[in-house]
Chain A
Amino acid sequence: GAGVSQSPSNKVTEKGKDVELRCDPISGHTALYWYRQSLGQGLEFLIYFQGNSAPDKSGLPSDRFSAERTGGSVSTLTIQRTQQEDSAVYLCASSQQGDSGELFFGEGSRLTVL
């Protein structure tokens, strides 16, 4: 596709369940980022993938959060044993040049934990 694609666009789950959020970056973009945006708040960095380098996981809030990027393309963010405070919009962005390049964001996945 022409842009960053995220799925699902909306996810409602029960507390304690695991969820997986998917991000398809723009083809050829080597850098991929995950952010979390709570209602009315700024973007919170979660994790950063750049090419074949080890990901920067410094933003992951707990060990319930993990992410992988297969084949340098599609990424999956997994949240285990979801809690109500995990409710937020999870945004994925990709860039051709890492941090020096323009970031292209997906539309986000809205997660609601009941």
Chain B
Amino acid sequence: KNQVEQSPQSLIILEGKNCTLQCNYTVSPFSNLRWYKQDTGRGPVSLTIMTFSENTKSNGRYTATLDADTKQSSLHITASQLSDSASYICVVTHYNNNDMRFGAGTRLTVKP
């Protein structure tokens, strides 16, 4: 079983709407949790990185939250744009061995 589970697998929303992507993990203890955006045919690009002591981090219209007690993170996208269409990947780093675990990603499509 993957130690990082993302939901939904895919999502379609209309331009201008907000959405929230979920990441549940079992990696424990962990040192940091990252969200990446991967455009089709491109490499992933970092959006946010949070340590275990942080519970929110913003990057423009992207806001990531972290609840270390429930082992859940979410990525909220505000006022979506067509360019937000991409896969969003959650990555959790194990504290002891620095092993990074990748989620399978959520494929977001923003339609006009």
Contact = CB atoms under 8 A, between A and B. Distances in A.
Same assembly: yes
Interface of A: 4, 35, 41-45, 91, 93, 98-100, 102-108
Given A4-B43, A105-B44, A108-B43, A42 B98 contact: no
Q: How large is the interface on B (under 10, 10 to 19, 20 to 34, 35 or more residues)?
A: 20 to 34
B102 A100 contact: no
B7 interface: no
Contact of B89 (A43, A44, A45): A43
Contact of B45 (A35, A43, A45, A105): A105
B104 interface: yes
Nearest to B104: A42
A36 to B, nearest CB: 11
Interface of B: 2, 31-32, 34, 36, 41-46, 49, 89, 93, 98-100, 102-105
Contacts of A4: 43
Contact of A43 (B31, B32, B42, B102): B102
A91 B43 contact: yes
A43 B36 CA distance: 12
B2 to A, nearest CB: 8
Question: Which residue among B31, B34, B41 has the maximum number of chain A CB atoms within 10 Å of its CB?
Answer: B41
A45 B4 CA distance: 14
B39 to A, nearest CB: 10
Given A41-B104, A42-B2, 9 more contacts: A4-B43, A43-B44, A100-B31, A100-B98, A103-B44, A105-B45, A106-B43, A108-B41, A108-B43
